[in-house]
Amino acid sequence: MSLSSTLNGSYLTPRLRINKVLPYFTSHTETHVSPKIDSSRTHVNYEVKEDVAVIRMNDPTSKVNTLSVQMQNEMIEVFNEVLANDAVQSAVLISSKPGCFIAGADINMIQACNTSEEVTKLSQEGQKMFARIENSPKPIVAAINGPCLGGGLEFAIACQYRVATKSKKTVLGTPEVMLGLLPGAGGTQRLPKMVGIPGAFDMMLTGRNIRADKAKKMGLVHQLVDPLGPGLKSPEERTIEYLEEVAIQCAKGIVNKKISLTKEKGMMQKVQDYVMGIEFVRQQIYKTVTAKVMKMSKGLYPAPLKIIESVKAGLEQGPDSGYLAEAQNFGKLAMTSESNALIGLYHGQVACKKNRFGVPERPVKNLAILGAGLMGAGIAQVTVDKGIHTVLKDTTVEGLSRGQQQVYKGLNDKTKKKTITSFERDFTLASLTGQLDYSGFEKADMVIEAVFEDLNIKHRVIKEVEAVIPPHCIFATNTSALPIKDIAAASIRPEKVIGMHYFSPVDKMQLLEIITTDKTSKDTTASAVAVGLKQGKVIIVVGDGPGFYTTRCLAPMLAEAVRLLQEGVDPKKLDALTTGFGFPVGAATLADEVGIDVAAHVAEDLGKAFGSRFGGGNVEVLKTMVEKGFKGRKSGKGCYVYTPGLKSKDVNPDIEDVLGKYKLTPNPLVSSDSDVQYRLVSRFVNEAVMCLQEGILNGPVEGDIGAVFGLGFPPCLGGPFRFVDTFGANKLVEKMKRYEEVYGNHFTPCQLLLDHAKDSSKRFHK
Amino acid sequence: YRPHGLRQSFTYRPHGLRQSFTYRPHGLRQSFTYRPHGLRQIQTKSKKTLAKPGVKNIVLVEGVRTPFLLSGTTYADLMPHDLARAALQGLLHKTSLPKDAVDYIIYGTVIQEVKTSNVAREASLGAGFSDKIPSHTVTMACISSNVAMTTGVGLITAGQCDTIVAGGVEFMSDVPIRHSRKMRKTMLALNRAKTLGQRLSLIGSIRMAHLTPELPAVAEFSTAETMGHSADRLAAAFGVTRLEQDEFALRSHTLAKQAQDAGLLSDVISFKVPGRDTVAKDNGIRPSSMEQLAKLKPAFIKPHGTVTAANSSFLTDGASAVLIMSEEKALAMGYKPKAYLRDFVFVSQDPKDQLLLGPAYGTPKVLARAGLTMDDIDVFEFHEAFAGQIMANLKALDSDWFAQTYMGRKVKVGAPAMEKFNLWGGSLSLGHPFGATGCRLVTTVAHRLLKEGGQYGLVAACAAGGQGHAMVIEAYPQ
């Protein structure tokens, strides 16, 4: 999902520099400049500097370069000209966009295909093009600044040499797996040779971004170039120019044999190569990697397995089989529902990273957070490093210093991982003020309260705060269940009140659910979204109501989980069944993570609001657990017992008693493993569809994003709405009716779901 | 006094020099263009003097320095305050200043010897100054002795003092190398341990890793980038070529050699090093050839960087001292001052990407303060940390775009004319004892104004931390 996350570079209009002598390196030799500019080309062009062809890419219609049809066609045209040009000895491939090399292939190109054969053909065309690059008699140097991902990386590794800037924006990677695909233009074949089998698997199976310095260590790039600061041009512009100059030197160096393309192998490398040469070792690696993939993906994601298969084909049966396997597997994957779901999530995520409410009247520069608990401090942590002055207020010194320590630790962990320096940590922390009073609140542009989930306390706080903040200041409340309008009832300016529901842990969870009431002004919403986006969040904006969207979907599922526990399903079994369906965290563990007390609170509140429909498990189970001190992970005991320092956890032996007290007899008709899974999921999905029906949700896209990013709905299913589309509303309704007969209205499908079941042409996603 | 004759006598012939380089300079071509002498005439100055009514005139009476030596050579067995003592005694000797006639002594230093953390005090006591004279030490990286001088200027202006000795010292032959933090912690705990058992258990906790020593940081603390690395990036940002840098380095060494041979470096005192010979000359001046310089590999950014060992300043031992007084006091004591110390500024900017641009920021600012233009300046002495850094600063000064984008100015002030620039060598060739360079720059400006007959001189320097300094110096009417 990282395709767009790093693409915020400034955009320079395409420009061709003609007759410009290199200011570097070339002082002594004569400079031939013969511009080759074909005005009919809009994406790729080149000019010849001395004997080096500088090929420049720039998609004028987008902020990023993608390997679109147009880009590819022009690239082939230019490549042919470069090969035919006798004045050219070598070439440099560079992007004119300061912030982006190539962000990947054009996903729409794949989505436009109807059969796997078409996609396979697409892959083979890409393979052919890159094979020509790889076999080019004139060496080609890829000069990389900004993201070099997916097809972009495959292009780069087909080149003879790679130079990359050390900029933070420069990342290399193969994120295809996150879209349920594989690197389909030779990536599965070239990477193992370049970075070794383990390294290649790591890259392709995780899809993670690799920063330039790491890429150099791995052997993915040959040379690094430092980003430059202010000079006689803007840093971005000059850095790209510098990169080009260095790349040209490399290209010349390769031609005149000053740079050797066959790297002298170190001892370690030789040993590694020897070990990898043993077939038994390779087989062991395939086995281990496959086992690991199966364990992590529960076999729900086909792409990782196809990646292993393609790599194996190439290494064991030779390149012809390898490339063929890659192309065919690519074709197969593109037609899978998993890929469709993941691509849907990717598009949805891009959509939820935009502010559809426009630019707020005034940007938030000073933000105050009330309550330095886990949530408040988490919000502070993701705010303070975005250049926003952040006040963290609590009522006690202990609470405050715990929160300050949490922020410090979050930043210090980044220092330990070397993503920031200790100085950057200190500098960032300088924007955080911890305090016990309301001083300075007269400068606040936004206040986010994260105090106890108690309406009376929230009312008291809103009144206190409104007495000290300026008129323009927005009051955001971080609640997971209390309706915002009830909180806003105590406000003297409800148009400035909004809900911002963060997920714990705030620095890890990507979702932010923003809740607007009828009275919330559009500018307030725009401002809240702007702050959320700055904090790096994926945002859904939903209507007000008990539990909003996310909590409301989760509540019936947790109620069902409690019922299952009461029916004698072991917490471990419950977890296995939910993770087996694709949830990253099992239902019992999730309850422990959320906190049994919170779950009890929410279950009771929403139970009151929605009536018997939210029933199922007995709330008393949760309440009894809380009474006994089993509040979940935070208290060390919940469904499980947590021992600090220990990763494995055992079922809490004492909950037997609690569950025994509320024991229910399972009905064998609806208690098979599969039924257990669908009982949990159908209640979740039905509630989601109902939220759309009631207008709580703006659309199915936000519904899917909210469920996947906030609640861990199986990503391979793409979210509740895509699940209904793929699984079939009629099939789901059929199942629910069966459960309804046993359990009543807990499983009554909502009208919108019934509509979709009746008419199979009705779909949430086109 | 014949300025033109003098100029010839020290054999500075730009055209001759150019030919002797046996290559065709690109970047420096302009800078070597000879300008008519009309510029030198004092009558064309936009201001006759920078004296301000109601503000005390502050004068430089004398400036001296020990020879600047490559670290690890003849000074190797000394301590920092020994060098500072030598400079102070040289100053006393040269000025015949009574040892109790000074109001205050200030020294600048960068890498501190922990035993003499207030090196100003140890050196002044050791140099025989009266123990009734207070002294303190300042630090601001490569402009530490500039701070020492301006602190003195401040004390005189405020009416607190009349006579100040300021100076700087750096001793790179020996630097504090510490035990690791873990080891220090253990040793400190050992100090507090009460029983034998406690002591033994602490000693038992020492591991091999504890023994790794900690060297003084060579990198900028805030960015973790070494200065040479930053200089290379700076040169690249301004498009300064390797050739330009090597040319400038060669120029610095060539001019320094000429100045040394012609006896122009009269601020250098000879120093009998205990147990060793008497040192009377800087030993880092090594005019080489462009071919030799071109052979060196980049020292920081490999393989495509442009900053090499030869176009960077080297690690140096040395100390300097100046006598600063109010004009009235100097005259009353019968001194003939060498120059007025006029307006000065300290500037600072981004320590990452503009680490070494102090002169580019400081120069326009101090000129504006003084109400002068570039053309009014007859003598430029810029601190040469790296040839690439100097060239970058010159390019920044000569860029309207840079002036507008980064300095909030409408137009550039322009680059200094090269025939007025660092004519007696610079930090690249003479050496750069961090804490001592500032006084050398100011004394050199004063001496050059005397020799060359100009009226205004400008000192500018960069310093770690992204800081900088510039000062205008006015010739004292002879």
pLDDT (tens digit per residue) in A174-194: 999 999 999 999 999 999 999
Q: Which pair of tokens denotes residue B59? A: 């004068």
Under 8 Å between Cβ of B89 and B96: no
- What is the distance in angstroms between the Cα of A695 and the nearest Cα belonging to chain B? 50
Residue A563 confidence (pLDDT) above 90: yes
- What is the distance in angstroms between the Cα of A762 and the nearest Cα belonging to chain B? 57
* Pairwise CB contact (< 8 Å): B233 & A228: yes
Q: A interface mutation test: which of B232, B241, B304 has the most A CBs within 10 A? A: B304
- For A540, phi then psi, to 5°, come to -115, 140
Q: B interface mutation test: which of A20, A24, A252 has the most B CBs within 10 A? A: A24
Positions of B annotated as catalytic residues are: 142, 462
- What is the distance in angstroms between the Cα of A228 and the nearest Cα belonging to chain B? 6
The C-alpha atoms of residue B433 and residue B426 are separated, in whole angstroms, by 12
Under 8 Å between Cβ of A210 and A171: yes
Q: What residues in B contact A231, CB-CB < 8 Å? A: 234, 236-239, 392, 395-396, 402
- The string of DSSP codes covering A224-282 is EEPPP-SSSS-HHHHHHHHHHHHHHHHHHHHHTTSS-SSPPPPHHHHHHHHHHTSHHHH
Q: What residues in A contact B234, CB-CB < 8 Å? A: 229, 231
Out of A228, A249, A421, the one facing B237 most closely (by C-beta) is A228
Q: Which pair of tokens denotes residue B374? A: 């570039």
Under 8 Å between Cβ of A758 and A728: no
The whole-number average pLDDT for the span A282-294 is 95
* Pairwise CB contact (< 8 Å): B223 & A230: no
Point out the residues of chain B with pLDDT beneath 70: 1-44
DSSP letter (8 states) at residue A24: S
- For B321, phi then psi, to 5°, come to -155, 145
Residues of B with CB under 8 A from a CB of A: 26, 221-224, 229, 232-234, 236-239, 241-243, 301, 303-304, 350, 352-354, 392, 395-396, 399, 401-402, 405-406
Asked if A758 has any chain B CB less than 8 Å from its own CB, the reply is no
Cα dihedral A340→A346→A347→A348 (10° resolution):
100
- The string of DSSP codes covering A673-716 is HHHHHHHHHHHHHHHHHHHHHTTSSS-HHHHHHHHHHHH---GG
The C-alpha atoms of residue A420 and residue A507 are separated, in whole angstroms, by 15
The C-alpha atoms of residue B457 and residue B381 are separated, in whole angstroms, by 8
Work out the percent of chain A whose per-residue pLDDT is above 70: 95
How far from B310 is each of B25, B250, B269, CA to CA, in Å?
Answer: 18, 9, 26
* Pairwise CB contact (< 8 Å): B402 & A27: no
Q: Which pair of tokens denotes residue A595? A: 């906190």
Out of B221, B239, B303, the one facing A232 most closely (by C-beta) is B239
Is the peptide bond preceding residue A505 cis, with omega within 30 degrees of 0? yes
- The mean pLDDT value of chain A amounts to 92
The answer for A 633-652 residues in CB contact with B (under 8 A) is none
The C-alpha atoms of residue B352 and residue B357 are separated, in whole angstroms, by 11
Asked if A419 has any chain B CB less than 8 Å from its own CB, the reply is no
As a 3-state breakdown, chain A gives helix, strand, coil percent values, each rounded to 5, of: 50, 10, 35
Burial (Cβ within 10 Å: 0-12, 13-18, ≥19) of residue A580: middle
The C-alpha atoms of residue A412 and residue A421 are separated, in whole angstroms, by 9
The C-alpha atoms of residue A343 and residue A179 are separated, in whole angstroms, by 5
3-state secondary structure of A511: strand
* Pairwise CB contact (< 8 Å): B303 & A223: yes
Sign of CA dihedral A539, A353, A358, A368: positive
* Number of CB atoms found within 10 A of residue A111's CB: 15
Per-residue confidence (pLDDT) for residue A18, from 0 to 100: 30
Out of A225, A231, A427, the one facing B238 most closely (by C-beta) is A231
How far, rounded to the nearest angstrom, does the alpha carbon of residue A420 sit from its chain's CA centroid?
21
Under 8 Å between Cβ of A223 and A246: yes
Q: What residues in A contact B223, CB-CB < 8 Å? A: 421, 423
How far, rounded to the nearest angstrom, does the alpha carbon of residue A210 sit from its chain's CA centroid?
15
The C-alpha atoms of residue B295 and residue A147 are separated, in whole angstroms, by 36
Asked if A452 has any chain B CB less than 8 Å from its own CB, the reply is no
Under 8 Å between Cβ of A599 and A591: yes
In chain A, the residue whose alpha carbon lies closest to the alpha carbon of B25 is A27
Residue A759 confidence (pLDDT) above 90: yes
For B408: left if phi > 0, alpha if psi spans -120 to 50, otherwise beta; the answer is left
- Separation of first and last alpha carbons in chain A: 21
* Number of CB atoms found within 10 A of residue B268's CB: 23
The C-alpha atoms of residue B173 and residue B75 are separated, in whole angstroms, by 7
Asked if A228 has any chain B CB less than 8 Å from its own CB, the reply is yes
Per-residue confidence (pLDDT) for residue A734, from 0 to 100: 97
For B407: left if phi > 0, alpha if psi spans -120 to 50, otherwise beta; the answer is alpha
Per-residue confidence (pLDDT) for residue B262, from 0 to 100: 97
* Pairwise CB contact (< 8 Å): B221 & A423: yes
The C-alpha atoms of residue B421 and residue B426 are separated, in whole angstroms, by 10
Per-residue confidence (pLDDT) for residue A273, from 0 to 100: 83
- What is the distance in angstroms between the Cα of A416 and the nearest Cα belonging to chain B? 14
- For B384, phi then psi, to 5°, come to -95, 90
* Pairwise CB contact (< 8 Å): A230 & B239: no
* Pairwise CB contact (< 8 Å): B353 & A27: no
The whole-number average pLDDT for the span A415-419 is 91
* Pairwise CB contact (< 8 Å): B224 & A246: no
- What is the distance in angstroms between the Cα of B398 and the nearest Cα belonging to chain A? 10
The whole-number average pLDDT for the span A369-384 is 96
- In 3D space, the residue among B364, B71, B350, B110 whose CA is nearest the CA of residue B230 turns out to be B350
Rg (C-alpha) for chain A, rounded Å, is 29
In the numeric block, the tokens 């296995």 are attached to A576
| Residues in contact with B458: Cβ distance below 8 Å, sequence separation at least 6, in sequence order | B363, B366, B367, B377, B379, B380, B381, B416, B445, B470, B471, B472, B473
Positions of A annotated as catalytic residues are: 513
| Residues in contact with A187: Cβ distance below 8 Å, sequence separation at least 6, in sequence order | A153, A154, A157, A174, A176, A204, A326
Per-residue confidence (pLDDT) for residue A536, from 0 to 100: 96
- What is the distance in angstroms between the Cα of A29 and the nearest Cα belonging to chain B? 12
Under 8 Å between Cβ of A146 and A101: yes
Under 8 Å between Cβ of A178 and A5: no
How far from A299 is each of A295, A306, A716, B89, CA to CA, in Å?
Answer: 8, 12, 11, 84
- What is the distance in angstroms between the Cα of B240 and the nearest Cα belonging to chain A? 8
As a 3-state breakdown, chain B gives helix, strand, coil percent values, each rounded to 5, of: 40, 20, 40
Q: What residues in B contact A233, CB-CB < 8 Å? A: 401
- In 3D space, the residue among B252, B249, B240, B260 whose CA is nearest the CA of residue B296 turns out to be B249
For B380: left if phi > 0, alpha if psi spans -120 to 50, otherwise beta; the answer is beta
Which residue(s) pair with A211 in the sheet? Answer: A171
Count of CA atoms in the C-beta half-sphere (13 A) of A586: 18
Asked if A231 has any chain B CB less than 8 Å from its own CB, the reply is yes
* Pairwise CB contact (< 8 Å): A421 & B233: no
- What is the distance in angstroms between the Cα of A196 and the nearest Cα belonging to chain B? 25
* Pairwise CB contact (< 8 Å): B224 & A232: no
The C-alpha atoms of residue A255 and residue B192 are separated, in whole angstroms, by 67
* Pairwise CB contact (< 8 Å): A232 & B233: no
Per-residue confidence (pLDDT) for residue A24, from 0 to 100: 32
In the numeric block, the tokens 């069944």 are attached to A577
Per-residue confidence (pLDDT) for residue A37, from 0 to 100: 56
Residue A4 confidence (pLDDT) above 70: no
Sign of CA dihedral A200, A205, A211, A214: negative
Q: How many Cβ pairs closer than 8 A exist between chain A and B?
A: 71
Out of A24, A229, A235, the one facing B239 most closely (by C-beta) is A24
- For A369, phi then psi, to 5°, come to -120, 130
Under 8 Å between Cβ of A509 and A503: yes
Residue A39 confidence (pLDDT) above 80: no
The one-letter amino acid code at B47 reads K
* Pairwise CB contact (< 8 Å): A225 & B241: no
Out of A234, A246, A427, the one facing B304 most closely (by C-beta) is A246
| Residues in contact with A28: Cβ distance below 8 Å, sequence separation at least 6, in sequence order | none
For residue range A82-105, what is the model confidence (pLDDT) as tens digits?
Answer: 999 999 999 999 999 989 999 999
Is residue A256 very low, low, confident or very high in pLDDT (cuts 50, 70, 90)?
A: very high
- Indicate whether this complex's ipTM tops 0.85: yes
Out of A229, A421, A427, the one facing B237 most closely (by C-beta) is A229
**Strand ranges in A394-473 using DSSP code E only, listed in sequence order:** 432-435, 446-449
- What is the distance in angstroms between the Cα of A753 and the nearest Cα belonging to chain B? 57
In chain A, the residue whose alpha carbon lies closest to the alpha carbon of B241 is A24
Model-level pTM? 0.89
Per-residue confidence (pLDDT) for residue A262, from 0 to 100: 79
Asked if A27 has any chain B CB less than 8 Å from its own CB, the reply is yes
Rg (C-alpha) for chain B, rounded Å, is 23
The C-alpha atoms of residue A754 and residue A62 are separated, in whole angstroms, by 41
Asked if A24 has any chain B CB less than 8 Å from its own CB, the reply is yes
The one-letter amino acid code at A742 reads V
Under 8 Å between Cβ of B236 and A242: yes
HEC assignment per residue over B255-290: HHHHHHHCCCCCCECCEECCCCCEECCCCCCCCCCH
Per-residue confidence (pLDDT) for residue B349, from 0 to 100: 97
Q: What residues in B contact A423, CB-CB < 8 Å? A: 221-224
Q: Which pair of tokens denotes residue B218? A: 């060579």
How far, rounded to the nearest angstrom, does the alpha carbon of residue A561 sit from its chain's CA centroid?
28
Q: What residues in B contact A235, CB-CB < 8 Å? A: 237, 353
